[in-house]
Structure 1
Amino acid sequence: MSRILYVEDNDDNVYMLSRRLRKYGFEVSVASDGEQSIEMARSEKPDLILMDLSLPFLDGWAATRLLKDAPDTGAIPIIALSAHTMAGDRERALAAGCDDYDAKPVVFERLLAKIHALLQCRSGP
């Protein structure tokens, strides 16, 4: 069972997406801000992180950079999630270290395909 750390501060989004991910067999833990995401990524070593970019205390951009720069979390794939789909946001997320980007509202099948692709890349052929 693959473990996903879902970093999101909106309770409705957490409920909807984590429930669907669990239904597909993922183990899901939730962090509500960027600081907590770093602590949980270090302690839980998830297989993948879904990172909201607009977070309190430490935003998703900064949290991603810190996670990717750390030797113990740098290899964990991160998919950025953002409701703010401005021109250049995808490129900015990738430059911060995200491995992929998906816009909100989430189209579950599209996100699921991205999750499976990154998990497959991580585990090899």
Structure 2
Amino acid sequence: MNHQSKVLIVENNELNLKLFHDLLIIQNYEVMTSKNGLGIPALIENERPDLILMDIQLNGISGIDIIKELKKNPATSSIPIIAITAFAMKNDEAKISASGCDMYLPKPVSIDLFFQALHKFIEPNNKN
């Protein structure tokens, strides 16, 4: 039996959350979502997703802080994280990279880039 790759989306924008969710479902990924980032480190330790899509601008908490926390924890440090954000000045990009995320995608996210990024870290789950 094939392991179905599990992806966690942490995104507070409803439309982006739905878009990413739908794109992942089309590809047969198992999808978990969080709108606020609260309790994410514990959720990730329990659920062990194969990939995390992390919005950087969350309500009341920085995605960068969550990424740093996850990368410091030996139990979650090996899970690839793709940071997704709309605000990307040069220094923001440096901060995002310094957080330890594995890749960065600017919003609005191109669908092609989104799938390329996914497949860089996890196998496609398409059942042809």
Same fold (TM over 0.5): yes
Pick the aligned partner of 2:98 from 61, 70, 95: 95
Unaligned runs of 5+ in 1: 121-125
Q: Deviations over 1:59-91 (max 9, x none)?
A: 101000001001111100000000102113222
CA distance in 1: counterparts of 2:104 and 2:7, whole angstroms: 16
Query: 1:57-96 counterparts in 2 under 5 A?
Result: 57-96=60-99
Name which of structure 1's ranges 34-43 and 66-75 shifts more when overlaid on structure 2: 34-43
Q: Which has the higher helix share?
A: 1
Unaligned runs of 5+ in 2: 124-128
CA distance in 2: counterparts of 1:65 and 1:33, whole angstroms: 17
Query: 1:1-125 counterparts in 2 under 5 A?
Result: 1-119=4-122
Q: Deviations over 1:19-66 (max 9, x none)?
A: 111101111100112223222211110000000000123210100000
Say if 1:33 and 1:59, in contact at 8 Å, map to a contact too: no
Say if 1:35 and 1:63, in contact at 8 Å, map to a contact too: no
Q: Deviations over 1:72-125 (max 9, x none)?
A: 1110000000010211322221110100000001111101111111226xxxxx
TM-score normalised over the length of structure 1: 0.89
- Alpha-carbon RMSD: 1.3
| Helix, strand or coil at the partner of 1:106 | coil
Percent identical:
34
Runs of 4+ off more than 4 Å: none
What is the letter of the counterpart of residue 115 of structure 1?
L
| Helix, strand or coil at the partner of 1:35 | coil
The structure number with the bigger radius of gyration is 2
TM-score normalised over the length of structure 2: 0.87
Name which of structure 1's ranges 31-40 and 99-108 shifts more when overlaid on structure 2: 31-40
